[in-house]
């Protein structure tokens, strides 16, 4: 790849990493400023927040190291992902279970969709990240799969920035699928503008993300998915709210 094209590619991935980080940080900051969140929440929320903030910082740092040609440090720091991934998956599932049992989860989402889709989303992220690590020697694949993995977890940021009550009943699709998909689509377009072709890794990464989302939705609204939802929330305060999304008071 010519030096100028490589430089433009590195710059694109760095700026995109910053943009994805900004969506997540802005979303949670807005939630706090609007009084929809609080430092008085249970400890698991704060641990979850710190771990995910750490991942955001790691991802931006890694793309900055590549853009700055500091590949030695990029490779050494990258192994932290193997420690971070299982912790992130565990905490995301724990938070989901706590939320649906404690208050039924966000009122703007159907309970079953949130309960099943949220873990599916973090598993999508983990599997794409694992694939990217496995293909780390093929840097073209590595950076694009990592990009898709990061895009897959921007949903919570979009869900806090967008006017979700007014997007019912399509809020979950918009926040968890459509808005995050903007990033890999832009990535594919950027490829085409730089080189005249789109790397196949975008199809695999984004395609896997879309497929996992659709499979989670199909299961969530199946009889088995509804049975699982009731098994999780029945007998808890979360069962008091409707299963369907509603406009919060």
What is the rounded CA–CA span in Å between residue 67 and residue 63?
A: 6
Task: Give the model's pLDDT for residue 41.
Answer: 80
The average confidence (pLDDT) of the chain is: 95
Q: How confident is the model at residue 7 (pLDDT cuts 50, 70, 90)?
A: confident
Q: How confident is the model at residue 34 (pLDDT cuts 50, 70, 90)?
A: confident
User: What is the pLDDT averaged over residues 133-155?
Assistant: 97
Task: Give the model's pLDDT for residue 15.
Answer: 98
Task: Give the model's pLDDT for residue 249.
Answer: 82
Q: How confident is the model at residue 110 (pLDDT cuts 50, 70, 90)?
A: very high
Task: Give the model's pLDDT for residue 33.
Answer: 80
Q: Does residue 1 surpass a pLDDT of 60?
A: no
Q: How do residues 62-105 score in pLDDT, each as one tens digit?
A: 999 999 989 999 999 999 999 999 999 999 999 999 999 999 99
| Range name among 20-34, 51-65, 227-241 with the lowest pLDDT average | 20-34
* C-alpha distances in Å from residue 104, one per residue of 112, 115, 127: 10, 9, 27
Task: Give the model's pLDDT for residue 51.
Answer: 96
User: What is the pLDDT averaged over residues 10-38?
Assistant: 90
Percent of the chain with pLDDT over 70: 96
User: What is the pLDDT averaged over residues 148-154?
Assistant: 98
């Amino acid at each position: 790849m010519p030096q100028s094209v490589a430089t433009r590619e590195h710059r694109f991935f760095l700026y995109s990493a910053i943009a994805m980080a900004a969506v997540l940080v802005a979303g949670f900051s807005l939630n706090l400023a609007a009084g929809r969140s609080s430092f008085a929440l249970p400890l698991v929320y704060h641990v979850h927040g710190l771990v995910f903030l750490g991942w955001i910082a790691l991802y931006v740092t890694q793309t900055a190291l590549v853009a700055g040609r500091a590949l030695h440090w990029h490779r050494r720091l990258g192994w932290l992902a193997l420690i971070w991934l299982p912790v992130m998956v565990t905490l995301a599932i724990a938070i989901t279970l706590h939320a649906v049992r404690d208050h039924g989860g966000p009122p703007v989402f159907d309970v079953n969709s949130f309960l099943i889709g949220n873990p599916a989303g973090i598993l999508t992220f983990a599997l794409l990240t694992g694939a990217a690590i496995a293909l780390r020697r093929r840097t073209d694949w590595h950076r694009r799969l990592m990009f898709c993995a990061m895009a897959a977890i921007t949903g919570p940021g979009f869900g806090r920035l967008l006017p979700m009550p007014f997007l019912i009943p399509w809020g979950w699709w918009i926040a968890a699928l459509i808005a995050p998909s903007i990033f890999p689509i832009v990535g594919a377009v950027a490829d085409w503008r730089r080189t005249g072709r789109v790397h196949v890794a975008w199809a695999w990464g984004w395609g896997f993300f879309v497929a996992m989302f659709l499979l989670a939705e199909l299961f969530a609204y199946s009889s088995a998915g509804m049975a699982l939802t009731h098994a999780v929330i029945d007998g808890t305060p979360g069962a008091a709210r409707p299963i369907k999304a509603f406009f919060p008071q």
